[in-house]
Structure 1
Amino acid sequence: MSEEMNQVDVRNFEVGDKVSGLVTKVEEKQVIIDISDSKLDGIIPISELSSLHVEKASDAVAVGDQLDLEVLKVEEEALILSKRKVDAEKSWQELEEKFNNGEIFEAEIKDVVKGGLVVDLGVRGFVPASLVEAFFVEDFSEYKGKTMTFKIVELEKDKNRLILSHRAVVEEEKGKQKHQILDSLKAGQVIEGTVQRITDFGAFVDIGGIDGLVHISQLSYEHVDKPSEVVEEGQKVQVKVLSIDRDNERISLSIKETLPGPWSNIAEKAPKGSSLNGVVKRLVSYGAFVELFPGVEGLVHISQISHKHIGTPHEVLKEGQEVQVKVLDVNEQDQRLSLSIKELQEREQEYVIDYELPEESKGFQLGEMIGDQLKNLKK
């Protein structure tokens, strides 16, 4: 082809024109293109092959590839072309749609750089380290070449800025899962969970993607000072759903209510007629409540406290005092125990003076006779 003909063909093109062409040769730093419907050759510099850094042109294209290109520069015998600009223009349109629709899509991690990951979406997409996972990652080296799901969280075409997040996808999925669980839960339901966190006021249990709180009072029938005394992180536990606040996504759980109640088989643990040790927990006007087992209290009626007549239980008992009691009656269904303290105490001996006044003493005063009888008793 003559130089004059080339120059004529060159004049038919302007910067910004869109052309298509076939890759005829791939060199280290550039690619030679046979431009369709023209006798001209085109050249794509390696910097115009991709939005990402390319070490060798063969990493981006191969001989025989049909490419859509844009004219960057018109030279005397050839056109300088860009694949990157055409790819970017198409990509920005698609990416804007994905961004506006909140679409989730897959992409391969092309590179790991300081501060995050790089993705090729026709334009360079950046995933900051904080947006890669919902947890801390110390080393990202194994992420290169990995395909992950992403959402676009920032898009500014004018600044060529595209920020992606995998973490947003994870959290969105977790949110959907949370709502599904919330909708399916019912008060009274018993399910398995895993202790996630322990605090001073209770334990948070994961029940399949959402955490519920087991308040310290719902950990055990026994008194608990520290939740860590009863449960540990990672422990599998059975929990009962007490209540669900769907608006605030709060779930109240109980471990205690999945355990055998303290009154279960109480007739075997405290059979009628048995003698047991207990602690006075509460004093009321009509008696004393004595704790025999954790969560099990029985009533010692005021009439069963002492053989002596007492006005109030406070006269002979105090809270926290250890006492021995006899079980008078057991009612497991109504969770009632009738107890007695006096049944285990000896009645104080009562002396009864039985006498008949002699005939000859009838003139004496009764008081004198009683005095004489007492003297005889002392002897």
Structure 2
Amino acid sequence: MAEQNNEEMLNAMASVQEVKVGDLVKGEVLTVDDNKQAIVGIIGAGVEGVIPLKELSTIPVDNVTDIVNIGDVIDLVVISEIGKDKENGSYLLSKRRVDAKKVWEDIEKAFEAGEIIEAPVTDVVKGGLVIDAGVRGFVPASMVEDHFVSDFEDYKGKTLAYKIIEIEPSENRLILSHRAVVEVEKEAAKKELMEKIGAGDVVEGTVARLTNFGAFIDLGGVDGLVHVSEISYSHVDKPEDALTVGDKVTVKVLSIDPEKDRISLSIKETLPGPWDNIEERAAVDSILEGTVNRLTSFGAFVEVLPGVEGLVHISQISHKHIATPHEALQEGQVVTVKVLDVSEENKRIGLSIKALEEKEEDEVVVEETYEMPEESTGFTLGDVIGNDLKED
């Protein structure tokens, strides 16, 4: 009987696992000490160990019970031996390091497979973004976007997709790029859009960037250019005078060059034409205010509506005799004019300044000769020579 008891005791002792630093063990949570550490029984070893709060998780937590509760069985690694006579356990254990090892293994597999991973941005530091992928990762500023970003504060808390650029678990080094993901997505979107749209199509977009020569419009991951001359029928000096980044706009596709990845757009082509219903908006005998845009030898071109110029023939500038329009007018001058005739079909308006002025009694009309203008104006020779060479 005594021999049997001794044999059972020896078998029990033999079955007890010897615990060494670096071992992977399983532990059952026995108690939680003031929510700052967990006391566990190491299964198969007959000894206890302690898990400090900081060794419970790869992410910061305030309480032990945020991660484990009494009765949970968890995987642990032995960090060090703290003495058989120490209170609350004989070994210092870590769940965090076991979890981190598994995370590194998963990340290495994703890296080898060329997979994209997602993780939240936990902090913004000088030089880039800190992310939590189960382990700490870093995104250099140059790898955040495919364009310059002056302030990264808005990225904090956002979950982004990344391509793994560099990984070294032994040094806890993980370098990621969100820019690489953005570039691939944009390239795919560009290819799809190029196949979907064509010249003449009218589409919606958002003003993405403004330059001194035009506005770049985001059509859904692909940018097209609206040249400053295509923003409005009215003259626009600078794109920012008419547009703001973030504006939603309707644009017409003028042309697509797949080889150069170039899309030319127009905003003004989606707007009512400046000559539409002109016979109602600038009816004969109506009085309008306009700006002298150009002076020629035969008269002055006055913009009376956005994109609409009318001709004040030299004979209609003044009751007084003038040899050239420059004697009475200058470019940029604001004048009041009377509409003499208008044609929507021919895009032509005849105007008069002198019709709104009183003629002095001693003024006489002098017959004049005119030279044919060198430019195409939309006006006939008769219009240029003038039909009003006699006093009103």
**Counterpart-to-counterpart distance in 1, 2:342 and 2:140:** 73
SS of the counterpart of 1:344? Answer: coil
Aligned partner of 2:346 in structure 1 is: 332
> CA distance change for structure 1 residues 59 and 271 in 2, over 3 Å: closer, same or farther?
closer
**Counterpart-to-counterpart distance in 1, 2:39 and 2:260:** 62
Unmatched tracts of structure 2, length 5 or more? 1-5, 85-89, 316-322, 330-336, 349-376
**Counterpart-to-counterpart distance in 2, 1:271 and 1:173:** 54
Aligned partner of 1:33 in structure 2 is: 40
In the TM superposition, what is the alpha-carbon distance from 1:217 to its structure 2 partner? 1.8
Aligned partners of 1:266 and 1:332 also within 8 Å: no
Counterpart pick for 2:385 among 341, 362, 370: 341
Counterpart pick for 1:158 among 167, 170, 182: 170
> CA distance change for structure 1 residues 132 and 229 in 2, over 3 Å: closer, same or farther?
closer
Aligned partners of 1:16 and 1:72 also within 8 Å: yes
- Residue 98 (str. 1) matches residue 113 (str. 2): no
| Amino acid paired to 1:25 | T
- Residue 63 (str. 1) matches residue 107 (str. 2): no
In the TM superposition, what is the alpha-carbon distance from 1:135 to its structure 2 partner? 6.9
Bigger Cα Rg: 1
Aligned partner of 1:119 in structure 2 is: 132
Aligned partner of 1:355 in structure 2 is: none
Q: Please, what TM-score do these two structures have when normalized by structure 1?
A: 0.61
Aligned partner of 2:197 in structure 1 is: 185
**Counterpart-to-counterpart distance in 2, 1:120 and 1:108:** 7
The root-mean-square deviation of aligned C-alpha atoms, in Å, is 5.0
SS of the counterpart of 2:387? Answer: helix
In the TM superposition, what is the alpha-carbon distance from 1:187 to its structure 2 partner? 1.3
Aligned partners of 1:131 and 1:165 also within 8 Å: yes
**Counterpart-to-counterpart distance in 2, 1:62 and 1:216:** 65
Aligned partner of 1:218 in structure 2 is: 230
List per-residue Cα deviations over 1:25-74 (Å, max 9, x = no partner).
333554333334x2422414425433455555444322222222334456
Aligned partners of 1:27 and 1:58 also within 8 Å: no
Aligned partner of 1:24 in structure 2 is: 30
In the TM superposition, what is the alpha-carbon distance from 1:127 to its structure 2 partner? 5.8
Aligned partners of 1:330 and 1:336 also within 8 Å: no
What are the residue-to-residue correspondences of 1:48-59 with 2, within 5 Å? Answer: 48-52=55-59, 56-59=63-66
List per-residue Cα deviations over 1:306-333 (Å, max 9, x = no partner).
xxxxxxxxxx767998799986998539
**Counterpart-to-counterpart distance in 2, 1:88 and 1:98:** 15
Aligned partners of 1:52 and 1:120 also within 8 Å: no
- Residue 86 (str. 1) matches residue 98 (str. 2): yes
What are the residue-to-residue correspondences of 1:248-267 with 2, within 5 Å? Answer: 248-265=260-277
Aligned partners of 1:194 and 1:206 also within 8 Å: yes
| Amino acid paired to 1:18 | L
> CA distance change for structure 1 residues 290 and 86 in 2, over 3 Å: closer, same or farther?
same
In the TM superposition, what is the alpha-carbon distance from 1:139 to its structure 2 partner? 7.2
- Percent identical pairs in the alignment equals 41
| Amino acid paired to 1:260 | P
- Residue 136 (str. 1) matches residue 172 (str. 2): no
In the TM superposition, what is the alpha-carbon distance from 1:24 to its structure 2 partner? 2.4
| Amino acid paired to 1:40 | G
SS of the counterpart of 1:332? Answer: coil
> CA distance change for structure 1 residues 204 and 8 in 2, over 3 Å: closer, same or farther?
same
Aligned partner of 2:373 in structure 1 is: none
List per-residue Cα deviations over 1:108-146 (Å, max 9, x = no partner).
66x65865545261x334567887786724478xx5xx5
Q: Please, what TM-score do these two structures have when normalized by structure 2?
A: 0.60
Unmatched tracts of structure 1, length 5 or more? 306-315, 348-379
Of 325-334 and 171-180, the range deviating more from structure 2: 325-334
Aligned partner of 2:365 in structure 1 is: none
Query: How many pairs align?
Result: 322
